[in-house]
Chain A
Amino acid sequence: MMMVSLPAPHPLLSLPFPPSIYIQIRYTSTTQILTATPPDENCPVCKSSRYLNPNIRFLMNPVCYHKMCESCVDRIFMQGPAPCPVIACGKTLRKNKFRKQTFEDVAVEREVDVRKRVALTFNKRQDDFDNLREYNDYLEEVEQITFNLVNKIDVKETEAKLLEYEAANKELISTNAARQAAEMMAFAQATEAEKESQRLAREMAVREREEERREQEELKIATLNALASGDKGAVKVIQEVQLKRSGERKRRQADEQMKLKSLAEGRSLLNSSLLAGTRKRVLEDGPFDPLGGLSDVNEHYIVQDYYENKWLENVRNDPAAQAGGYFVEEYYGRSLFEAFSGLTFFVDEEAARIEEEKRAKTYTDLMISDAVS
């Protein structure tokens, strides 16, 4: 199954690809599961059953979603478009549109079709919008259209809306579609590369084990030979040489493994950064201002270095107070700040302003009044 081979992203880490890709892949795999056991039933047109014809296949047309067997489809629509044979339907169907039913429930089948179609047209992404609010509004509108189409509410108007949007945003739609295709491809490639690197790592591990085993064997033989010849010094030398060799081999292996690992990591990083960085918006010009346009200059005073005050003279000359971290300058600053912070801030004006703000209709109010009317 395809799902098994997916790299399992850690839930806390961000997904390397947009979630839509995962969903699509999951969709296809779900389809396979659902169609694995076809139910036992009759064809509503010719009444032939699975009992009589074990190879019977049911098809339906996404115009009216009426189901019939393959042979009926061949028989009725061979000559070109024809009305649906189901009584009181009569919609004109074409043979090439017939397909296998994916879901058992026709309503679900239809909703999936509608959603697919709407998603083809409305394929904007969050980074196409300036802020989250706009994006959410857009999503809501899309959902509204989908809902209307699924539940057959104001179908005509909704269709018109959809077409209008399609015409107006032709370029964006095709770019986004291309982007999505590119992402799918990149994702497939990344998966492939990941698999490849895993295979390489596995092979390397096998090779290592093999090498180690061979070394051990060689050592054993060499030692036995040395012992057989009765040369005790030679045994020692052989063992030392062997130890050196195995240490070197281990170092080499670790290096290789490191290389492989960093290669894989680098690839995934590259992928995610390439995809994420496709449409970064340029922020407004100018440097970042942490005070948000306020100045730190006091309008009414400046703190001077020295003020005459007999109460403060003691503290100023008292090393005990200063060693504790008390600075008379801080006192000056705070006193002056408190003497002027809010002096020209008038409570009644502020209250009037808030009242005014409350009365002014907000965007949400307008939306609500729209919805009510």
Chain B
Amino acid sequence: MDDTIYSTSTQHRLFTFTPKQLSDLRYATNKAAIEKITESIKRRAVAAGIVESEIEEIDCPTAEEELKLVAYYCVKCMQLSDHFQFPSNVKATALTFLHRLYLTTSTLTLHPKKLLLPILYLATKTENHYTPIKNFIATAATAGPKVTKEDLLDPEFTIAMGLRWAFQVWHPFRGLEGIFLELNAIASGRYQPPKPKEHLVLPATEAKVALLELLAGDTDRIGRAHGEARRLLTTTALLTDVYFLYTPPQISFGAFLEADRELATFYLDIKFPETDVPGRKTKMKLLDVLDEIAKNHLSAGLSEDLKNPYQGLLLQLPQNGITTSLSMSVDPTLVKEVTRIDKKLYRVTKRDQDSAGKKKAEEWNGSGSQSGTGSGNGIGRYDEDEERRAKKRRLEREKAEREGDVFGARLPDVKTAGAGSF
């Protein structure tokens, strides 16, 4: 019954995949975006009179590079959320939105940097964490360049389309609370087994004795396990693919297993007793899946040197050079790599805009002026050009005002300025 309810959710219908499907989807998105942008650049170049064979080679970021970039901005989003001191459900929803959005959207089409704040604001609304937009803008200004109300609200429709209008996220840390409510109930001897399995399960008193034996006087152990599992679910789990690959309770139990293996096994034994013969097969499979989550995704010991369990698949794993913990994000080589990718991305999109004409470019730069907290890492460098130009324009305007020229400064050379203007 519970499984059926979950299987009707949008999280399952739209955003649950096998590792292979997930990887294929990422490659397909990258391929489609590259084709589109290459075609657009070439077409405009040909229209401008350049022979097709002479067009400079178009170097687009690969799917791997795109994923690295998105993962990096996910970390940035997390830091941004912490700066706002949002609760973990807002943070988790914002990150899930980012992940989901970039499954079917390429960074070539939509740069993640300008979406961080709008997504965070959207997440506050989704999670019912009311934040007046003025306060939001004020707090955002303390973390980076100024943003306007329009900057926050305009991309919302695009984001919602990318999310396929599925805003509800099933977070595993909510289920985790249920697990610990029950564990505490067992410890106090108040636990009641569910009706269908009543005859199979240990009576409450025996379960209490077994648990106390396991705790061996360390009464704080349950609390610590809870804290550790929750920490995993609100940090590492949000930087990996577990939300796409497993169901939320599996992730909760996986984190619990990673936090305290003995305690988790004890609890699972209560829930799936050995005496329940038909349930044994399900239990074996479940334990396999939980192990997979704990070892392959949430484990703190994961590093680039370990063997990749998903050979050849594009998943968010440290083995693929992708950040899965906050501490790794400050690794200088990684930052360097991400900067390189970002520059590459910038060059391609710039070329597309340059050929697209002034209007589109202005649109792009207009909404791209916010750079989140990423500005300190050299990623926001290409904005300096634009800033310098803006400053020049402002100075010119001020000078003109001083001199009393009512028509303002001279307009930049525009070929089309003709009979209509004067």
Name the CB-closest residue of B to A302. B194
Cβ-defined partner of A348 (8 Å) among B5, B12, B18:
B18
A294 CB to nearest B CB, Å: 5
In the bound assembly, the distance between CA atoms of A109 and B185 in angstroms comes to: 86
Cβ-defined partner of A339 (8 Å) among B16, B17, B175:
B175
Asked if B7 contacts A295 (CB within 8 A), the reply is no
Asked if A337 contacts B1 (CB within 8 A), the reply is no
Asked if B1 contacts A308 (CB within 8 A), the reply is no
Cβ-defined partner of A299 (8 Å) among B2, B5, B174:
B2
A222 CB to nearest B CB, Å: 80
In the bound assembly, the distance between CA atoms of A343 and B250 in angstroms comes to: 5
Most buried by B among A302, A342, A350: A342
Q: A296-B1, A302-B195, A309-B181 are in contact. Are A345 and B7 (CB under 8 A)?
A: yes
Asked whether B71 is an interface residue with its Cβ less than 8 Å from the other chain, the reply is: no
Chain B residues within 8 Å of A308, by CB: 184-185, 188, 190
A98 CB to nearest B CB, Å: 67
Asked whether B21 is an interface residue with its Cβ less than 8 Å from the other chain, the reply is: yes
In the bound assembly, the distance between CA atoms of A366 and B330 in angstroms comes to: 59
Cβ-defined partner of B182 (8 Å) among A295, A336, A337, A346:
A336
Asked if B185 contacts A338 (CB within 8 A), the reply is no
Q: A337-B178, A338-B178 are in contact. Are A347 and B194 (CB under 8 A)?
A: no
In the bound assembly, the distance between CA atoms of A332 and B192 in angstroms comes to: 14
Asked whether A79 is an interface residue with its Cβ less than 8 Å from the other chain, the reply is: no
Total interface residues in chain B, CB < 8 Å: 46
Count: A-B pairs, CB below 8 Å: 122
B331 CB to nearest A CB, Å: 31
Q: A298-B1, A300-B194, A308-B184 are in contact. Are A342 and B178 (CB under 8 A)?
A: no
Chain A residues within 8 Å of B197, by CB: 299
In the bound assembly, the distance between CA atoms of A350 and B8 in angstroms comes to: 13
Asked whether B4 is an interface residue with its Cβ less than 8 Å from the other chain, the reply is: yes
Asked whether B353 is an interface residue with its Cβ less than 8 Å from the other chain, the reply is: no
Name the CB-closest residue of A to B288. A346
Chain B residues within 8 Å of A336, by CB: 178, 181-182
Asked if A339 contacts B176 (CB within 8 A), the reply is yes
In the bound assembly, the distance between CA atoms of A297 and B193 in angstroms comes to: 13
Interface residues of B in 144-192 (CB under 8 A from A): 170-171, 174-179, 181-182, 184-185, 188, 190-192
Asked if A335 contacts B195 (CB within 8 A), the reply is no
Asked whether A307 is an interface residue with its Cβ less than 8 Å from the other chain, the reply is: yes
Name the CB-closest residue of B to A337. B2
Interface SS of chain B: helix, strand, loop or mixed? helix
Chain B residues within 8 Å of A340, by CB: 2, 175, 178, 249
B401 CB to nearest A CB, Å: 56
Chain A residues within 8 Å of B191, by CB: 304
B23 CB to nearest A CB, Å: 13
Asked if A299 contacts B196 (CB within 8 A), the reply is yes
Q: A297-B195, A309-B184, A337-B178 are in contact. Are A342 and B1 (CB under 8 A)?
A: no
Chain A 341-370, CB-CB to B under 8 Å as 1, else 0, gives 111111110110000000000000000000
In the bound assembly, the distance between CA atoms of A351 and B18 in angstroms comes to: 7
Chain B residues within 8 Å of A103, by CB: none
Name the CB-closest residue of B to A352. B18
In the bound assembly, the distance between CA atoms of A300 and B197 in angstroms comes to: 8
Chain B residues within 8 Å of A296, by CB: 1
Asked if B289 contacts A294 (CB within 8 A), the reply is no
In the bound assembly, the distance between CA atoms of A302 and B248 in angstroms comes to: 19
Asked whether B10 is an interface residue with its Cβ less than 8 Å from the other chain, the reply is: no
Asked whether B245 is an interface residue with its Cβ less than 8 Å from the other chain, the reply is: yes
Q: A294-B1, A347-B18 are in contact. Are A301 and B7 (CB under 8 A)?
A: no
Q: A294-B1, A337-B2 are in contact. Are A344 and B286 (CB under 8 A)?
A: yes
Chain A residues within 8 Å of B188, by CB: 308
Q: A307-B185, A340-B2 are in contact. Are A298 and B194 (CB under 8 A)?
A: yes
Chain A residues within 8 Å of B170, by CB: 338, 342
Asked whether A51 is an interface residue with its Cβ less than 8 Å from the other chain, the reply is: no
Asked if B174 contacts A335 (CB within 8 A), the reply is yes
B264 CB to nearest A CB, Å: 12
Asked if B2 contacts A298 (CB within 8 A), the reply is yes
Asked whether A116 is an interface residue with its Cβ less than 8 Å from the other chain, the reply is: no
Asked if B175 contacts A304 (CB within 8 A), the reply is no
Asked whether B213 is an interface residue with its Cβ less than 8 Å from the other chain, the reply is: no
In the bound assembly, the distance between CA atoms of A123 and B286 in angstroms comes to: 58
Name the CB-closest residue of A to B279. A344
A304 CB to nearest B CB, Å: 6
Interface residues of B in 286-330 (CB under 8 A from A): 286, 289
Asked if A342 contacts B181 (CB within 8 A), the reply is no
Asked if A342 contacts B196 (CB within 8 A), the reply is no
Asked if A301 contacts B194 (CB within 8 A), the reply is yes
Chain B residues within 8 Å of A309, by CB: 181, 184
In the bound assembly, the distance between CA atoms of A367 and B249 in angstroms comes to: 43
Q: A334-B174, A339-B176, A339-B178 are in contact. Are A346 and B1 (CB under 8 A)?
A: no
In the bound assembly, the distance between CA atoms of A301 and B190 in angstroms comes to: 13
Asked if A339 contacts B249 (CB within 8 A), the reply is yes
Chain B 16-60, CB-CB to A under 8 Å as 1, else 0, gives 111001000000000000000000000000000000000000000
Cβ-defined partner of A342 (8 Å) among B194, B195, B247, B285:
B247
Chain A residues within 8 Å of B84, by CB: none
Q: A335-B178, A339-B249, A351-B18 are in contact. Are A344 and B194 (CB under 8 A)?
A: no
In the bound assembly, the distance between CA atoms of A335 and B250 in angstroms comes to: 14
Most buried by B among A294, A302, A337, A345: A345
In the bound assembly, the distance between CA atoms of A40 and B101 in angstroms comes to: 76
In the bound assembly, the distance between CA atoms of A107 and B247 in angstroms comes to: 65
Asked whether A27 is an interface residue with its Cβ less than 8 Å from the other chain, the reply is: no
Q: A294-B1, A338-B174 are in contact. Are A347 and B192 (CB under 8 A)?
A: no
Chain B residues within 8 Å of A302, by CB: 192-195
Asked if A343 contacts B178 (CB within 8 A), the reply is no
Asked if A341 contacts B253 (CB within 8 A), the reply is no
Chain A residues within 8 Å of B194, by CB: 297-302
Chain A residues within 8 Å of B6, by CB: 341-342, 345
Asked if A335 contacts B181 (CB within 8 A), the reply is yes
Interface residues of A in 134-192 (CB under 8 A from B): none
Asked if A304 contacts B185 (CB within 8 A), the reply is yes
Asked whether A306 is an interface residue with its Cβ less than 8 Å from the other chain, the reply is: yes
Please name 4 further chain A to chain B contacts, defined as beta carbons within 8 Å, in addition to the given A298-B2, A300-B271, A306-B190, sorted by A numbering: A332-B178, A338-B178, A338-B248, A345-B3
Return 11 A-B CB contacts under 8 Å, by A number.
A299-B1, A307-B181, A307-B182, A308-B190, A335-B175, A338-B174, A341-B249, A342-B3, A342-B6, A347-B18, A347-B245
Ordered nearest first, which 7 A-B pairs have the shortest CB separation? A342-B6, A339-B178, A335-B178, A342-B247, A338-B175, A339-B175, A341-B2
